[in-house]
Structure 1
Amino acid sequence: MSNCSFEDVDNLMKSLQLVIYIPIFIFGLILNTLALLVFCLLLKKWTESTIYMTNLVLMDMLLLFPMPFKMHATKYHWAADKRLFCSFLESLYFVSVYGSIYTIMCIAVDRYIAIKHPFRAKQLRSPRAALVTCVVIWLVVLGATAPVYRFHSKSEEPFRCFHGFSKEGWNPVLIVCLEVLGFLGPTLVLVSCSVQIIRTLRKSLQSSAQSRACVRIIYSNLCIFLVPFTPCHVGIFLQFLVRCGTITDCGLQNRISLFVQVSMGLANITCCLDAFCYYFITMEIRSSRGSLRQSFSQRRMTSTSEV
């Protein structure tokens, strides 16, 4: 890898990353500010869903904070005495990304309990439980990002923030934890809960219009999660293979470097897509609860008439 030049990729990304980051930053800031104002000022009652969605907004706002610094770092080197500040910004980025992933996973679990087990939901779900869960998410991701402060070497030379991680940043144990615990695990939980919800809705509502609408919303939420996060984690794994010497072809290394940087940049679009997720989740819960209540009422009436 030391004999392979990435100058062409770096020059391309200096302009391409600005094209990606500037629209995401502007729209993300507007959408998440509006969402936060709605949740904090207009909603009269804090429910489990509202608490989770507010936590997701906070994670997205945290993602936006380092973005201007990332845009600056695409073109300019930073002085060596800025390494600690750079590591702090990088840790905020990882806190936001994986905090968002775990929050979305918890939303899926909460949705699963509400729809799959509606009678037990009163014992299993509560605003306090949702709040405690969100606090735990923050504590876990903050603790898990501690290794970020070792990602850069301690050289006195100028460096590029968000680039050029040291060997410690590509430690196999760290990458496995990142891929498995940070993405694959939550993804399996999300997909499993979504599949169970879809099956329950189709059985309970007998393919009604409301059932089909709920199913479409769940598929939309899955796409909003998988489209931004899957490519970047595939890219991280490929870059790990480059770093550990498994992939040695220079041309392939350049393509992987370009893919990683583009996919990591586009993954930030989640802070904009989540705005649609807020709307979808609200509509889904209202629709599914109303439909299930109607379905249960019909069952009770049928049972009464039979008696």
Structure 2
Amino acid sequence: MSPNVAYNNSCAEHISIFSVCMYSFISTVGLVFNILALVFFFSQTKSRSQTIVYMTHLAIADILLILTLPMRIYYHLGSTLDQRICEVLGLVLKANMYGSIFLLTCICFDRCMAVSFPMSSRVQAGRKKVPWICLGIWMLTFGASLPIYLTKRNYVNNTECFDSLPVYATNPVVVFPTLIVGFGIPLVIMLICSWGLVRAVQRSSVAQTNLVDSGKIQRMIATSLLIFLLSFLPYHTILAVLSLYKEDISCPMRTAYRYSLMMACLNTVLDPVAYYFTTDTFKKNVDMGTVRRMFLLNSQSSDVNRSRMPNS
């Protein structure tokens, strides 16, 4: 065994137990939550909105990611895996993680458009293309990930598997497009849409007349954004650091990468809490808000006349 391999193994030993516990928790809870979500989504045959379509694909992406974790648990328990199996599992995890990021961005953008422009025919026409958008996301994430793993490489040691850093974590040619397209642009879109959504809710007539709980909607928006940042910001920050120090990656940096990857995987548990289990509340608030705004506009003249009458 080479000194470098021994160094990598000693660096990974102290987090193996934590990795097993963490991935076991994510696999169990995440799988149950997302399967329950899929059962609910597929049962909504009569009232399947565009957001439900996005969330269905998001739950599928989360489940596919979760299905790669048992092999990670198996490896961290002391077993060995063929390097090609490790790379296939890494490909599936990476593609579905970025699929989740893109789908979360689309959900935020869709909500912003639906609330900010509820009567726009162009927005409604665009929302009908959601299935094609989801198909494009699947093709993009797997299509962009495949070339990285199809590159032929000479393996120094086939027993490192998940203890070695993936090629996309140390190659600047891969890292920078990943940081910009896979995280930077989605983050900017989510920040802008979240801000626009909060302003639209605050300015709505139903919020100003307390017909809906605007504070609850705003807290839900803030929670969703916070979960996104907590899940994916550490991982992409570590990727940026690794690309700068690719020739001298220390043990603490490798450990930080593994912890940040666990945080990214934990998003599969947090997604149902932030999105699926609040869908019904959000839908009622938004739909009722649109109806009530229309009702208030239609009855504006009668309200004005009524306000002119003397109080009894």
What is the TM-score when the length of structure 1 is the normalising length?
0.87
- Which of residues 288, 291, 297 is equivalent to 1:290? 288
Query: Structure 1 212/168 Cα, relative in aligned 2: closer, same or farther at 3 Å?
Result: closer
- Which of residues 185, 199, 213 is equivalent to 1:210? 213
Q: For 1:224-235, list aligned pairs within 5 A.
A: 224-235=227-238
Does 2:234 align with 1:236?
Answer: no
Cα deviations by residue, 1:9-51 (Å, 9 ceiling, x for unpaired): 3111211101111111111111111111122235433221111
Asked whether the equivalents of residues 77 and 160 of structure 1 are also in contact (C-alpha less than 8 Å), the reply is no
1:94 deviates by 0.7
2:310 match: none
Distance in 2 of aligned mates of 1:269 and 1:63 = 10
Distance in 1 of aligned mates of 2:16 and 2:218 = 41
2:19 match: 17
2:309 match: none
1:76 deviates by 4.0
- If asked which structure has higher relative contact order (CA below 8 Å, sep 6+), I would say 1
1:4 deviates by 10
Q: For 1:125-274, list aligned pairs within 5 A.
A: 125=125, 128-150=128-150, 153-155=153-155, 157-165=157-165, 170-204=170-204, 205-206=207-208, 208=210, 209-245=212-248, 253-274=250-271
Asked whether the equivalents of residues 95 and 145 of structure 1 are also in contact (C-alpha less than 8 Å), the reply is yes
Asked whether the equivalents of residues 14 and 75 of structure 1 are also in contact (C-alpha less than 8 Å), the reply is yes
Distance in 1 of aligned mates of 2:169 and 2:239 = 11
- Which of residues 38, 59, 76 is equivalent to 1:36? 38
Q: Secondary structure at the match of 1:162?
A: helix
Aligned residues: 299
Distance in 2 of aligned mates of 1:127 and 1:222 = 22
Query: Structure 1 257/151 Cα, relative in aligned 2: closer, same or farther at 3 Å?
Result: farther
- Amino acid across the alignment from 1:261: R
Distance in 1 of aligned mates of 2:244 and 2:77 = 27
What is the TM-score when the length of structure 2 is the normalising length?
0.86
Superposition RMSD in Å: 2.7
Query: Structure 1 142/260 Cα, relative in aligned 2: closer, same or farther at 3 Å?
Result: same
Query: Structure 1 295/91 Cα, relative in aligned 2: closer, same or farther at 3 Å?
Result: same
Aligned-residue sequence identity (percent) comes to 23
Cα deviations by residue, 1:278-297 (Å, 9 ceiling, x for unpaired): 12233223202212321342
Query: Structure 1 23/175 Cα, relative in aligned 2: closer, same or farther at 3 Å?
Result: same
Q: Structure 1 stretches of 5 or more lacking a match?
A: 248-252
